[in-house]
Amino acid sequence: MRKLWLFAAAAILGCCLLVTPCFAQSGPNPANSDAAGGPPAAEATPATAQGGTMAIGSRVGVAVKVSLLGVGAEVATPLTYHTNIRAGFNAFSYSRGFNNDGINYNASLSFRSAEAHFDWFPFAGGFHLSPGLMIYNANKITANASVPAWNSFTLGGATYLSDGANPITGSGKIGFNKVGPMLTVGWGNLVPRSNKHIVVPFELGVLFEGSPQATLNLAGSACDSSGANCHNIAADTTFQNNVIAQQNKLNNKMSFFKFYPIISLGFGYKF
């Protein structure tokens, strides 16, 4: 976890470095003083000085949202007239049962994630480009596995029967990389530069989370397809190799999830 926070801090620092050239001294400019030594001419405020700096935290926008990562919330604050930093979290849970190659799975989908973005508004409106980082990805699928007594199932191309005296049971899990880059494009600024307070942000993009990794653990006794030669699978090297083959099969089926689509719609308010 410590490494994740350090990584997130580095990402935010990188965003700040991108806009460092925009930060200029805000003190009085002697050239603006009149000839009689009077006070300097009035300077433009951050809200009107397009391209100038804005103090972090001077304005804050918050939003609730629904996306393919779950239900969540986010907060944003400006860096410059054309840029914001934004962070948020997502959560979602869902359970269902399914059958794969004769093995019954009682599965639970759990989405838990946190993200950070650097929002660039090239036209000073709602349209923005947002490179970002999934700083914590705890999205996973867990499942309890079972094969009813004397039911057939397949592993690595081999067919077995679940022993009636000691049926096959087990567990499975599908996990993802904990950290991954993101890139989105969207409409809606959580911190409008006008007097507007309500915004409906919408985003499209992609998260690169790497290929999912499936693990499958089975216990019990299995018999050959005729119901003979029943034995404990823990001591069967061939059976365990077939379990690994089944894991690889699941990983190949899910390889397209390495690029996860982002579609998000929210409701925001600027304070």
DSSP letters, 167-236, are -EEEEEEEE--S-EEEEEEEE--SS-SSS--EE--EEEEEEE----EEEEEEESEEE-TTS-S-EEGGG-
Instruction: Give strand ranges (E) for the chain.
Output: 61-67, 70-80, 83-100, 103-120, 127-137, 140-147, 152-155, 158-162, 168-175, 180-187, 198-199, 202-208, 213-219, 221-223, 231-232, 259-270
pLDDT digits (tens, 9 = 90+) for 5-35: 333 444 443 444 343 333 333 334 433 433 3
pLDDT digits (tens, 9 = 90+) for 115-154: 999 999 999 899 999 999 999 999 999 999 999 999 999 9
pTM for the full predicted model: 0.70
Would you say 205 and 130 are in contact if contact means Cβ atoms under 8 Å apart? yes
Task: Report the topology of domain 2-7+59-270.
Answer: Porin (2.40.160)
Only one residue has tokens 């599965």, namely 107
| pLDDT score of 260 | 93
- Residue 175 or residue 156, greater confidence: 175
What percentage of residues in the chain have a pLDDT greater than 90? Answer: 61
User: Domain residues of the chain, as ranges?
Assistant: 2-7+59-270
| pLDDT score of 13 | 39
CA distance linking residue 87 with residue 5, whole number of Å: 13
